[in-house]
Structure 1
Amino acid sequence: MESSSAALPLDALPYPPGRLPIIGDVASVDRHRPTQHELKLAQGGLGPIFQRKLLGTRLVIVAGGRLAAQCNDEAAWGRVLLGPLAKLRPLAPHGMFTASSRDPLWGQARRILTPGFAQAAMRTYHDAMASVADDLVTEWTAAGGASVDVHSAMTRATLEVIARAGFGRDLRLFDPTGEGTDSHRFVRELGSTLQWASESTNDIPVVGHVREALRAPAVRRDIASLQQYVDQLIADRQRENTSEATDLLGLMLTAADPETGERLPAANIRDQTLTFLIAGHETTAALLEVAVHHLARDADHQRRVLAEMPSQTKSLDYEDVTKMRFTRQFLNECLRLCPPAPGYFRIARTDQNLGGYRIPAGRAVFVLALAAQRDPEVWGADAEDFAPDRFDSAALRDFPDRFFQPWGTGPRSCIGRAFALHEATLMLGRLVHAFDLRTASGAPLTLRERGTLRPEPFELTARGRAVAATTES
């Protein structure tokens, strides 16, 4: 690595065209699609590292695969909480993803909850996940081949999975008589809070401050309501006195930290439960929506997923899901091109030379995974193409410098990775087994941002396999 003393200062970083005196790069701000706009800037000529400046605030964006990998070196770089996650801190101040790294509670919670994501635990969650997949198939079957709302379906399905598997609760989100319940209100308020966290982070100075002040009372009401909902969920569980339960909520209520012997404080159980309801559904729902869109556009991908299903059965047991290798490759390609967490912040522990520029100790940079995972220098000339076979074990040898970090990096990376992948694989298998999925020919995948990168709501047709075969024969 080159000496940081020989590197150029931050002022020398490339920046978007149209910079104005004092206010800076206001033309480069897109409060609705910030990271997608930064991807365009990187691909449009700004390169693997550039800056965006508003008033006196400079954001350093790392878009190249090799430079992004350099920022993952834990000896030289650390995690820092900025952006939408920081905005969500009032909702769950000491949650596993929103807590400061100096906060001992995040480490305590992670150690207590780690057994809840081990293979043995995953086996126990499988039936709960399968029950949600059954509910989704039943709902789409009842639609009779008419268009289905994918966004609503995946939001409800992923919330139900984390609630049933992790907390022993059926939220009744697939009950047609349940509209207007507390659970449905929770879904609406959570979506509004996530949208606020994303847009307010990327707002224009002064205008954004006014907009923030006007919206603050509604945000506080939503946060209070979300916290009350989770408090009630925990109180209901405590009244049941299920001391033998080993799901996530059971661990939080009864298990002790193996290092300190301490149990989680009551307020932290709320924070962690909220964290899992948010992160456990939003990112997986985003992944499933992207995956279903690509399946509906390509019948060959559907055939390959279907070929991995057990023959002449609608059920999938735990071992069946673990053997669905192409489906996992397919999901990885969805994560590569459309990571639900499109980027993350890193902070220099010491002075760093990053791409020929000096990053002083204590300075944060934004690793734009959305761009780094599409970098042709590390993924090849076809990096923009959707090609699941690039994740075949043999093909991966062609990409020794590949950058692929959809789950974050370091000790604060996503604890629920195995949970999410098992859930998504199971869900796709059941849907493809039950339905021939179709979408409008050539319909583009339009992504929106509300803390995560997630498709705009869209519809597709899900015709029962038997009906489809009869129609086409």
Structure 2
Amino acid sequence: MEELSLMAISLIVILFGLKVVIILWWKPRKIEDHFSKQGIRGPPYHFFIGNVKELVAMMLKASAQPMPFSHNILPRVLSFYHHWKKIYGGTFLVWFGHTVRLTISDPELIREIFSSKSEFYEKNEVHPLVKQLEGDGLLSLNGEKWHRHRKIITPNFHMENLKLLVPVVAKSVTNMLEKWSTMSCKGGTVEIEVSEWFQLLTEDVITRTVFGSSYEDGKTIFKLQAQQMVLAAESFQNVFIPGYRFMPTRRNMSSWKLDKEIRASLTKLIDRRRESVNNDNDNNVISSNGTSPKDLLGLMIQASNSSQREDDHEIINSSCGVTYNDIVEECKSFFFAGKQTTSNLLTWTTVLLAMHPQWQVLARDEVLRVCGSRDIPTKDDIAKLKMLSMIVNESLRLYPPTVATIRTSKVDVELGGYKIPRGTELLIPILAVHHDTAIWGNDANEFNPGRFSEGVSRASKHPLGFIPFGLGARACIGQNLAILQAKLTMAIILQRFSFKLAPTYQHAPTVLMLLYPQYGAPITFQKLEQQQHPDQDRRS
């Protein structure tokens, strides 16, 4: 009997070892051979770790010190892509552990993935720590549930609804600038670390405009997510091991604690809002005459209420409805993505205008001409700020918040003549596309907003050369809010201040989930005397 038990154990060990060999050695070799026959190569796969060791080494070396004042940031930000593209071409394999990713930077192939053949691809399953941070909402959902949530949330981001938010956003901006003014030294100058201030600003705007609540309600959540973001970023430097997230390691326990606290804070916010919605006392829910803006939390709660019915004092959820947990997860998504995308856009736009004062002057002239004597731009003013739109687009091109995105093939599919097996992850390096001289010309690494003077579609040699918010059905739902907030904020700043890089500024774009300045973004602001443009629009 004892011999049979030993044999059984030995058999289990052998089978387990065989499975490990198949997953970690035989399958990767088979994948390499499949793509090699199609002319696609890449750095060789190493057992278990793939190319992670080389990736981390290149990343650490690239970010070890600041770079010159240049917009040629690809070698620093996506060092692995920059290095291996020179060896293997723009389409190559790279291994994250035993998971293969096929890099795709050809706009025509990107069109197939996001648009013409998008039904064959889906958002990839992100690292568990990242999913915990960004929530199981629109950012990560797939299939019917994604479609249902997108339909519910979309009215929140219709342009007509966003225009109703202009006074709320403007109030947050002016409050921030009044604080800057009180900090000014003699002569009206003040040094501001704008990346931190813009994060606080977007936190305030998000909680007010998207969740119909005050900044104090969201402050705790943002603080906790910032800590969680650091843990999630660290996970990218390690090989993903299935099941490891359930181990009681120090990092996992910290992440569990943070997630529990975030959920508790969101639950309080949602419960309070749900009570006000049910009592019809919340002014932020759309009014019958359409003069009040819709907000995300109100829409989700209304959808949840409409998908439930009371039966013998029990609440029964409809299979096609919205659950309480769905609301929590969507709130996590928008607290994270809304803050990071907009604050990064504001930071890099300010840095670029500080680096290129000639464009700052042109932008200010336009604001003064369009807004006239009005202290706060109106929704109609924002639409007329064409120069500022060009500047924001050029900022998004050179410094896109998301430097790369990933899709997974749901079936065996042909992509531009390549045969892609089911389950292959496709990495689209957005930053590389935005800096490609074949698409943007020899000045691809230069700040030239004028390239957008005839619109986005005619700015580059390919209509899909500009994809800062993704493409197709899964394009970022909040992009209009981010651009509106960026234009309004910059317009009000330009009305009141001129600015330049502070002497302490160090140029060091770095990825921590999104693109951010590694050493901050200190900017020196000079208060302007009240100006009046000779050709200003004098309409009140």
Q: Given the two structures, how large is their TM-score scaled by the length of structure 1?
A: 0.84
Note the C-alpha offset of 1:420.
1.0
Q: What does 1:422-461 correspond to in 2, within 5 Å?
A: 422-440=484-502, 445-456=507-518, 457-461=520-524
The 10-residue stretch of structure 1 (254-263 or 390-399) with the greater mean CA deviation from structure 2: 254-263
Question: SS of 1:339's equivalent?
Answer: coil
Q: Deviations over 1:410-469 (max 9, x none)?
A: 322211111111111001111111111111479553222222122222211111112999
Q: Which runs of 5+ in 1 are unaligned?
A: 1-6, 173-181
The 10-residue stretch of structure 1 (30-39 or 186-195) with the greater mean CA deviation from structure 2: 30-39
Q: Relative to 1, partners in 2 of residues 1:162 and 1:396: Cα closer, same or farther, differing over 3 Å?
A: same
> In the alignment, does 2:43 pair up with 1:9?
no
The 10-residue stretch of structure 1 (374-383 or 195-204) with the greater mean CA deviation from structure 2: 195-204
> Which has the higher Rg, Structure 1 or Structure 2?
2
> In the alignment, does 2:327 pair up with 1:269?
yes
Note the C-alpha offset of 1:79.
2.1
Q: What does 1:46-445 correspond to in 2, within 5 Å?
A: 46-75=88-117, 77-83=120-126, 87-91=129-133, 94-99=136-141, 101-102=142-143, 104-144=144-184, 145-172=189-216, 183-204=218-239, 213-240=249-276, 241=279, 242=281, 245-246=285-286, 247-248=294-295, 249-255=297-303, 264-309=322-367, 310-354=371-415, 357-393=418-454, 397=458, 399-402=460-463, 403-440=465-502, 445=507
Q: What does 1:31-46 correspond to in 2, within 5 Å?
A: 36-41=78-83, 44-46=86-88
Q: Relative to 1, partners in 2 of residues 1:212 and 1:132: Cα closer, same or farther, differing over 3 Å?
A: farther
Note the C-alpha offset of 1:316.
0.6
Q: Within 2, Cα distance between the matches of 1:40 and 1:51?
A: 13
Q: Within 1, Cα distance between the matches of 2:456 and 2:474?
A: 29
Q: Within 1, Cα distance between the matches of 2:174 and 2:460?
A: 38
Q: Deviations over 1:35-58 (max 9, x none)?
A: 622342255444211122255332
Note the C-alpha offset of 1:93.
5.1
Checking the alignment, whether the CA contact within 8 Å between 1:296 and 1:437 is kept in structure 2 is yes
- What's 1:177 paired with? none
Question: SS of 2:513's equivalent?
Answer: coil
**Aligned AA (2:193):** D
Checking the alignment, whether the CA contact within 8 Å between 2:153 and 2:300 is kept in structure 1 is yes
Q: Deviations over 1:197-219 (max 9, x none)?
A: 2331342468x969993311111
Note the C-alpha offset of 1:123.
2.0
The 10-residue stretch of structure 1 (183-192 or 303-312) with the greater mean CA deviation from structure 2: 183-192
Question: SS of 2:257's equivalent?
Answer: helix
Checking the alignment, whether the CA contact within 8 Å between 2:304 and 2:323 is kept in structure 1 is no
Q: Deviations over 1:331-370 (max 9, x none)?
A: 1111112111111112335544556643223322111111
Note the C-alpha offset of 1:161.
0.8
Q: Within 1, Cα distance between the matches of 2:525 and 2:306?
A: 48
Q: Deviations over 1:94-123 (max 9, x none)?
A: 411122x13x43322221221111232112
Q: Relative to 1, partners in 2 of residues 1:283 and 1:114: Cα closer, same or farther, differing over 3 Å?
A: same
Q: Relative to 1, partners in 2 of residues 1:136 and 1:212: Cα closer, same or farther, differing over 3 Å?
A: farther
Q: Within 1, Cα distance between the matches of 2:96 and 2:482?
A: 37
Question: SS of 2:178's equivalent?
Answer: helix
Q: Relative to 1, partners in 2 of residues 1:189 and 1:257: Cα closer, same or farther, differing over 3 Å?
A: closer
The 10-residue stretch of structure 1 (46-55 or 215-224) with the greater mean CA deviation from structure 2: 46-55
Q: Relative to 1, partners in 2 of residues 1:8 and 1:373: Cα closer, same or farther, differing over 3 Å?
A: farther
Q: Relative to 1, partners in 2 of residues 1:97 and 1:21: Cα closer, same or farther, differing over 3 Å?
A: closer
Question: SS of 1:147's equivalent?
Answer: strand
Which fold has the larger relative contact order, with Cα–Cα distance below 8 Å and residues 6 or more apart in sequence? Answer: 1
CA RMSD of aligned residues (A): 3.3
Note the C-alpha offset of 1:279.
1.1
**Aligned AA (1:141):** S
**Aligned AA (2:261):** S
Question: SS of 1:432's equivalent?
Answer: helix
Checking the alignment, whether the CA contact within 8 Å between 1:117 and 1:415 is kept in structure 2 is yes
Note the C-alpha offset of 1:8.
8.2
Number of aligned residue pairs: give it.
449
Checking the alignment, whether the CA contact within 8 Å between 1:87 and 1:201 is kept in structure 2 is no
Q: Deviations over 1:123-160 (max 9, x none)?
A: 22111111111112112112202211212101111111
Q: Relative to 1, partners in 2 of residues 1:197 and 1:56: Cα closer, same or farther, differing over 3 Å?
A: same
Q: Structure 1 vs Structure 2: percent identity of aligned residues?
A: 22
Question: SS of 1:60's equivalent?
Answer: strand
Checking the alignment, whether the CA contact within 8 Å between 2:138 and 2:333 is kept in structure 1 is yes
Q: Within 2, Cα distance between the matches of 1:83 and 1:198?
A: 12
Checking the alignment, whether the CA contact within 8 Å between 2:502 and 2:524 is kept in structure 1 is no
**Aligned AA (2:234):** E
Question: SS of 1:308's equivalent?
Answer: helix
Q: Relative to 1, partners in 2 of residues 1:441 and 1:66: Cα closer, same or farther, differing over 3 Å?
A: farther
Q: Within 2, Cα distance between the matches of 1:294 and 1:52?
A: 33
Note the C-alpha offset of 1:183.
4.7
Checking the alignment, whether the CA contact within 8 Å between 1:42 and 1:63 is kept in structure 2 is no
Q: Deviations over 1:258-303 (max 9, x none)?
A: 9999652222112112211111111111111110101111211211
Checking the alignment, whether the CA contact within 8 Å between 2:134 and 2:337 is kept in structure 1 is no
Q: Deviations over 1:11-51 (max 9, x none)?
A: 453334x8767744322335677962234225544421112
- What's 1:3 paired with? none
Q: Within 1, Cα distance between the matches of 2:504 and 2:531?
A: 21
Checking the alignment, whether the CA contact within 8 Å between 2:500 and 2:525 is kept in structure 1 is yes
- What's 2:54 paired with? 27
